[in-house]
Chain A
Amino acid sequence: MMRHLLRTPAGLIGSTSLALLLASAALSLVWTPYDPLAVDAANGWAPFSAAHPLGTDALGRDQVSALLVGARVTVAATVVATALSAVLGIAIAFVLALTPPAVTSVLQRLIDIAVAFPTLIVAIILVTSFGASTLVAAIAIGLAASVVVARTVAPEIRSALSSDFVLLAEAAGAGAGRILFRHVLPTIAPTLLVRVTQIMAAAALAEAGLSYLGLGTPAPTPSWGRSLADLQAQIMLRPEYLAAPAIAIVIVVLGLNLLGDALRDGLDPRAVVRGDANRTSRRRARAAGIRPERSVVV
């Protein structure tokens, strides 16, 4: 599957940008050209040069280092937010899938309302209570995204639970754990994976946005979003300094989105060909005289 991924332009670009992001973050843990927090007031707004390829900010802090360390923040926030949304989302989806029909419609409506709730409001609420930080921002994003995951995944769980192979596993005496981990999760994994990549893209963007608004990573920790906020005043005089964090954000978000698209395209048709298609279409295919495996034919 990985090889197929790299064959499409979207997959290639997406994987590359993700790799760049991770590499920058990893690199920043062991080495940066300069200490990003080191203040060098005399060297403020240094032009782009060999010593400082991306210049320095008002306080003389090297921008290349800031970019690298900012990557760390982006990775951390994205990972935490995505992980939270996935775990919480699956849990909510299970509850949704297992409740009796009467309760389900009420829960559905509640979830719809939660989905409509802007991440921003959640973030403001949390920040007011706990103060601004990368973690708080990540948690806010994770909470908001978890209901989206739940809504996508719940019907898949329901259909997996009513599939024949789960019924057979139950009839063979399988416990809930085995059914969950051996049957349901692997079945919903493709959809989940695609969703998760989309959420990663959204989370990266959301973290940048929240930091920009001052609700995320606080000074002095470098963050791409907050850099934009700090540098905003300079946009008329020194626009070039905004380029680096802005482009970085665009590359990461766009790349993750493309990766999600490539994953979705890579996984879906194969799923149909493998025979995950529903029974009716298979019966029809059989009746029309065609093996479902080669369902390209009528």
Chain B
Amino acid sequence: MTALFELDGVGHRYHRSPESALAEVSLTVRAGRSLGIVGESGSGKTTLTRAMLGLLRPTAGTVAYRDRPVPIGRGHGSREFRRHVQLVLQDPYSALNPRMSIGDIIAEPLRIHSPRGNHRARVIELLGSVDLPPDVAERRPHQLSGGQRQRVAIARALGPRPEVVIADEPVSALDVSVRRQVLRLLRRLVEHEGLTLVVVSHDLGIVQRLCADVVVMQRGRVVESGATADVLDLPRDPYTRELIASIPPLPERKASA
């Protein structure tokens, strides 16, 4: 299976900070195998996503996409790269520019790559793929609920037909019933549309349902990695065990889900 992302010994220390946000992180994202990056606050997972997206230059190590170093900022080749890798963030309320229409928001990545095209048809198609009706395109973010906004954020990310979507806590800010809908949507995209997801989350339940592989991070380092089922059923690292033990369990259910 093709390796999409290849991170080797990536480390990062922010300017004037005594501690490293990341240290010796190595991981691989393979096409068709979604990866979960699990960590709590201070684990470095946000810094890691920024490094993967070329939004910061790591102070150590290499980040490669399809065997080529990830372009930093607006460097050479960045436009192509940014078509292939898209981002979805946690907070549906701040991710959408309140002064733009939904249609413009979704079309933006498309316009960046082909400024002259008419993207209206594609926008409606994208809205459909996240189960939103076409008339939503005329509305403004403040008229939508949190769940709807998050779906718009996903629709926007899908526009340029990316190979990888990095989702940073995609459902954490949502109510549980909305969380279920978005989770189903993401699973459908992964299972039927061949999308490779990188899900960054502290929520093991979500990672369990979306990702074939998982990487567990603590204080900037990878403490455990492997196939999700293996790592979560038979955790070896004490921190992974602590994470799993911390989750309040739901009583066993007799009826099937």
A and B directly contacting (CB within 8 A): yes
Residues of A within 8 A of B (CB): 163-165, 167-176, 178, 182-183, 186-187, 273-276, 279, 282-283, 286, 291-293
Query: Is A279 touching B94 in the complex (CB atoms < 8 A)?
Result: yes
B113:A173 contact, CB within 8 angstroms: yes
Collect the chain A residues with CB atoms within 8 Å of residue B89's CB.
164, 167-168
**How many angstroms from the CA of A183 to the CA of B98 in the assembled complex?**
10
Instruction: Assess A275 versus B93: contact at CB under 8 Å? Given A171-B82, A171-B86.
Output: yes
Given the complex, which residues of B lie within 8 Å of A169, measured CB to CB? 108
Closest to B94 in A: A164
Closest residue of chain A to B74 (Cβ to Cβ) is A175
**Interface residue ranges, B against A (CB under 8 Å):** 53, 55, 73-74, 78-79, 81-83, 86-87, 89, 91, 93-100, 108-109, 112-113, 140-142, 145-146, 153, 156, 160, 173
Q: Which residues of B contact A167 (CB under 8 A)?
A: 55, 87, 89
Contact in complex: B98, A164 (CB < 8 Å): no
Count A-B pairs with CB separation below 8 Å.
79
CA distance A171 to B108 in the complex (A): 11
Pick from A178, A279, A286, A293: contact of B142, CB under 8 Å? A293
A-B contact pairs, 7 of them (CB 8 A): A172-B82, A174-B108, A186-B97, A274-B98, A274-B140, A274-B142, A275-B98
Most chain B CB within 10 A, of A165, A282, A293, is at: A165
Of all chain A residues, the one with the shortest Cβ separation from B110 is: A172
- Name, among A163, A186, A275, A283, the residue most crowded by chain B CB atoms within 10 Å (CB to CB): A275
Chain B residues within 8 Å of A292, by CB: 93
State the CA gap A171–B162 with chains docked (Å): 12
Contacts of A273 in B (CB 8 A): 142
CB-based contact A291/B145 at 8 Å: yes
* Residues in B whose Cβ lies below 8 Å from that of A291: 145-146
Query: Which of chain A's residues has its CB closest to B144's CB?
Result: A293
Please tell me which one of the listed residues B112, B145, B146 contacts residue A173 in the complex, with CB atoms under 8 A apart. Answer: B112
| Structural contact, A282 and B55, CB atoms closer than 8 A | no
Kindly report which residue of chain A lies nearest to residue B78, judged by CB atoms: A173
> Across the two chains, which residue of chain B brings its CB closest to A189?
B99
* List of B residues within 8 angstroms of A183 by Cβ: 97
> What's the least CB distance linking A291 to chain B, in Å?
7
Taken together as a complex, chains A and B put the C-alpha atoms of A292 and B74 apart, in Å, by 35
The 4 A-B residue pairs whose C-beta atoms are closest, nearest first, are A173-B82, A172-B109, A164-B94, A274-B142
Q: How far is the CA of A79 from the CA of B86 in the complex (A)?
A: 44
Q: Write the nearest CB–CB distance from A267 to chain B, whole angstroms.
A: 12
Is B173 within 8 A of A286, CB to CB?
Answer: yes
- Given A178-B112, A275-B142, A171–B87 Cβ distance below 8 Å? yes
B112's partner among A165, A174, A186, A275 (CB-CB below 8 A) is A174
Q: A164-B89, A178-B112 are in contact. Are A173 and B83 (CB under 8 A)?
A: yes
| Chain A residues near B95 (CB-CB < 8 A) | 164-165, 168
In-complex Cβ contact of B97 among A165, A171, A286 (8 A): A165
Query: Which of B91, B99, B112, B142 has the most C-beta atoms of chain A within 10 angstroms of its own C-beta?
Result: B99
> Closest CB-CB distance, A142 to chain B, in whole Å?
28
Residue of B87, B140, B156 with highest tally of chain A CB at under 10 A? B87
Question: What is the chain A residue whose CB lies nearest that of B149?
Answer: A275
Interface centre among A168, A182, A292 (most CB of B within 10 A): A168
